[in-house]
Structure 1
Amino acid sequence: MPVPEHTGVIPRSLLRENAYRSIRDAIVDGTLAPGERLNDAELAQWLGVSRTPVREALTRLEEAGLVHTKPGRYTMVSPIDARAARAAQTVTAAMHELAVREAVPQFSSVEIAAMRAANERFAEALERDDVNAAIASDDEFHGVAVIASANPALRAVLEQFTPVLRRMERLRFSSWRGRDSVALHDRIITLCETGDAEAAATAARDNWLSLDEAFDLDPAPGSAD
Structure 2
Amino acid sequence: MSADPAIANAAGRPVARRVLRDSVYEVLLERVMDGSSPAGSSLNIDSLARQLGVSPTPVREALAQMEHTGLVSRVALKGYRVADPLSDEQMEELVDARAAIELAAVEKSVARHADLLADLRVAHAHHVLSAHRITRLRQEGPPPGFTDLREYFAADWNFHLVIMRGSGNRYLLQMAESLSAHVHRLRQTIDHEIYDVDQAVAEHAAVLAAFESGDPAAPAAAMRAHLAGVASRSRGLD
Q: TM-score range by the shorter chain?
A: 0.7 to 0.9
Distance 1:33 1:141 in 2: 30
Which letter does structure 2 place at the counterpart of 1:119? Answer: H
1:189 partnered with 2:189: no
1:146 partnered with 2:146: no
1:138: Cα distance to partner? 0.9
Which letter does structure 2 place at the counterpart of 1:117? Answer: A
Contact 1:119/1:138 (8 A) holds in 2: yes
Q: Secondary structure at the match of 2:70?
A: coil
1:136 partnered with 2:154: yes
Could you tell me which residue of structure 1 aligns to residue 226 of structure 2? 207
1:187: Cα distance to partner? 0.6
Which letter does structure 1 place at the counterpart of 2:118? Answer: V
What's the TM-score, normalizing by structure 1? 0.73
Distance 1:69 1:124 in 2: 39
Gaps of 5+ in 1: 1-6, 219-225
Give the one of 91, 108, 124 matched to 1:85: 91
Could you tell me which residue of structure 1 aligns to residue 105 of structure 2? 99
Contact 1:19/1:54 (8 A) holds in 2: no
Q: Mark the CA change 1:123 to 1:57 in structure 2 (over 3 Å): closer, same or farther.
A: closer
Which letter does structure 1 place at the counterpart of 2:210? Answer: L
Gaps of 5+ in 2: 1-5, 10-14, 139-143
Which letter does structure 2 place at the counterpart of 1:179? Answer: D
Could you tell me which residue of structure 2 aligns to residue 110 of structure 1? 118
1:67: Cα distance to partner? 1.0
Contact 2:69/2:185 (8 A) holds in 1: no
Q: Mark the CA change 1:178 to 1:117 in structure 2 (over 3 Å): closer, same or farther.
A: closer
1:183: Cα distance to partner? 1.4
**Percent identity at matched positions?**
24
Q: Secondary structure at the match of 2:40?
A: coil
Give the one of 108, 127, 132 matched to 1:124: 132
Could you tell me which residue of structure 2 aligns to residue 4 of structure 1? none
What's the TM-score, normalizing by structure 2? 0.70
Distance 1:32 1:124 in 2: 29
Could you tell me which residue of structure 2 aligns to residue 18 of structure 1? 22
Contact 2:121/2:208 (8 A) holds in 1: no
Structure with the greater alpha carbon radius of gyration? 2
Q: Mark the CA change 1:55 to 1:202 in structure 2 (over 3 Å): closer, same or farther.
A: farther
1:54 partnered with 2:59: yes
Contact 2:161/2:173 (8 A) holds in 1: no
Contact 2:86/2:186 (8 A) holds in 1: no
Distance 1:197 1:55 in 2: 48
Distance 2:20 2:101 in 1: 26
Question: Alpha-carbon deviations, 1:104-136, whole Å to 9, x = none?
Answer: 415344213213312322431342234604323
Contact 2:73/2:82 (8 A) holds in 1: yes
Distance 1:164 1:188 in 2: 23
Distance 2:211 2:162 in 1: 11
1:25: Cα distance to partner? 5.3
Q: Mark the CA change 1:117 to 1:204 in structure 2 (over 3 Å): closer, same or farther.
A: same
